[in-house]
A = this chain, B = another copy of it.
Amino acid sequence: MTVDELKYPGSRRIYVPGALFPDIKVAMREVTLSDSVFPDGTTESNDPVRIYDCSGPWGDAEFHGQAEQGLPRMREEWILSRGDVCRDAGGALQATDLKQAPTQREYARRGIITPEMEYVAIRENLGREAAFKAIYDQFPSAKSRPEQAQQLLDELGTGMPRPSELEAQPGFSPKSLERRSQLHYQHPAEQRGGNIPAFFTPEFVRDEIAAGRALIPVNINHPEAEPMIIGRNFLCKINANIGNSAITSGIEEEVEKLRWAIHWGADTVMDLSTGKDIHKTREWILRNSPVPIGTVPMYQSLEKCSGRVEHLSWPIFRDTLIEQARQGVDYVTVHAALLERFVYHTANRATGIVSRGGSIIAKWMMIHKQENFLYTHWDEICDILATYDVAISIGDGLRPGSIADANDFAQLAELEVQGELTRRAWDKGVQVMNEGPGHVPLHLVPENMRKQLEWCYEAPFYTLGPLATDIAPGYDHITGALGGAIIAQRGCAMLCYVTRKEHLGLPDKEDVREGVVTYKLAAHAADLAKGHPGAQLRDNALAKARFEFRWEDQFNLSLDPHKARSYHDLTLPHANAKQAHFCSMCGPDFCAMKLTQEIRNSDRE
């Protein structure tokens, strides 16, 4: 199945305009719902639900672009209008003057709100403005009292009051309004030291970026990308890895892989290609990607040395970094915190070093008996990144590769250095996040988050899993989601997905789909727990559809409508089963929800 065959059913693309920057159009997916039908035959409409959507133009049915042309360069005008960049000899954009680096961090520090910042603020609000307006339109008294309405809006931000509370307020009484309001109910949050506002404003976004608690990875040479924010006080994001195979495929195939991952919900994509046509593959990916693209430049550097680690050098790495930055890579993983003296501490580990980048640089240090050149050239690396607003993802080359190695000296020693490098990158205006484990038993997960926040000054954490056990190869998307949900609940900003093929082989499309959806659900579970405003609306709407046996709506609101529908249709394929008040799991006589409906109906009589 190709991504073009996979349109989300019952959905349409909408755009929410900016206020500070009216030209901004933030894309969202709106799911249209069918009416509720009551036993007496009356019906009631259900408000559409707006869903976070980073599929870019590819997700717009009106868009008919081709992979060869690349996506529209949406951000180009924003970038050029700031007047702080120029073109180099090869035509790539770069900073005119590094004292005023064209990074979102620099702008934030100077108090400037960029279109990128307003864009992500609107996105993170999940279209709630419109949802609330639908309620207020039925509540005339609020309109005439804007202050009271604003106050209520503030309350709504953290969770709609229970219907009983609403009833106590003047004007709130009709049943239908009550039911609509109930959909916005959200459990009180458990923010664990986080600071998620009731409503996201561009000012809040700016302040989070200035504090280093969040980043928007958007290279000035990747104008096709939509801005996306990563930080613990925002929706938890997920990354999917793709990479070309040894025998290089065509442009359509590479772009298809990218679009496939984004379709299922990947917020960023890392291109981990290690084959021969790394540069060309990356070009196709960048020109067609509406999401930030990350890379590990060491892989291409090693390819340039024909895989001979001993031939690696700072100049080769530097040139590769510049090449990728000029091309438009939005963030790069650099294993600069793995110091020479730490390698010794992996000798007694159960599984040594399991990071590819980490093992490459460790081997280089062993051969040359020199300090990590990524560490010794850190300032130069940061200058390069600041020139193009490439964000840095400081790698964890010594992350544990087994439960036994979790939270050991080598891992934590590297984390401390990640903190030092974070500070130094910030001072250069570079946006930063830190990478984290790996394999960690559940009870040692919180320590990882705690130490990272403390040692890395609250820079966003970006973890691989963590995988909660080693004994489930073939199911490691799930072992990783267990640790991932727990660490995201405590403030991890982005989860790198793990597929079920992890440790076993190269994932195919179905593995990517399972992996992305599994991490989306883990991230969403964490967003519910940390109280992201509006996160629960989708759960509430789906639960209501389920309870009212609106099967199509239940499918359409789910993370994977195609799978939900196909599972249902395996036993009840006929169209009229979509109206049935039971499914094959319990059958008509034993359906609890059907019985409950009967109880409620008899209560009405």
Interface residues of A (CB under 8 A from B): 163, 182, 185, 187, 189-190, 246, 274, 299, 302, 307, 309, 343, 346-348, 350-356, 358-360, 362-363, 366-367, 401-407, 439, 441-444, 468-475, 478-479, 481-482, 485-486, 489, 500-506, 508, 517-518, 520-522, 524-526, 528-530, 536, 538-540, 542-544, 546-547, 554-555, 557-560, 563-564, 567-568, 570-572, 583-587, 589-593, 595-600, 602-603
Report chain B residues within 8 Å CB of A518: 475, 478
Beyond A359-B593, A473-B567, 8 additional pairs, beta carbon < 8 A: A163-B348, A442-B486, A442-B525, A468-B528, A471-B524, A475-B559, A482-B485, A502-B585
Within the complex, the shortest CB–CB distance from A411 to chain B, in Å, comes to 13
Closest to A563 in B: B474
A553 to B80: give the CA distance in the assembly, Å. 58
A489 adjacent to B442 (CB under 8 Å): yes
B353 adjacent to A525 (CB under 8 Å): no
Residue in B358, B468, B503 whose CB lies within 8 Å of A583: B503
Residue in B539, B543, B586 whose CB lies within 8 Å of A356: B586
A442 to B526: give the CA distance in the assembly, Å. 7
Report chain B residues within 8 Å CB of A592: 352-356, 358-359, 401
B307 adjacent to A589 (CB under 8 Å): yes
A540 adjacent to B403 (CB under 8 Å): yes
Pull 8 A–B residue pairs with CB atoms less than 8 Å apart, ordered by A: A347-B600, A353-B592, A366-B599, A405-B543, A443-B528, A472-B521, A475-B563, A505-B568
A592 to B360: give the CA distance in the assembly, Å. 7
Report chain B residues within 8 Å CB of A439: 543
Report chain B residues within 8 Å CB of A405: 543
Report chain B residues within 8 Å CB of A362: 595-596, 599
A522 to B478: give the CA distance in the assembly, Å. 9
Given A529-B443, A540-B403, is A182 in contact with B350 using a C-beta cutoff of 8 Å? yes
Residue in B189, B309, B595 whose CB lies within 8 Å of A363: B595
Report chain B residues within 8 Å CB of A355: 592
A7 to B508: give the CA distance in the assembly, Å. 28
Which of A470, A482, A524, A587 has the largest count of B CB atoms less than 10 A from its CB?
A470
Report chain B residues within 8 Å CB of A501: 567, 585
Which of A351, A593, A595 has the largest count of B CB atoms less than 10 A from its CB?
A595
Residue in B406, B469, B482 whose CB lies within 8 Å of A482: B482
Residue in B302, B404, B479, B520 whose CB lies within 8 Å of A543: B404
B479 adjacent to A478 (CB under 8 Å): no
B543 adjacent to A401 (CB under 8 Å): yes
Closest to A400 in B: B543
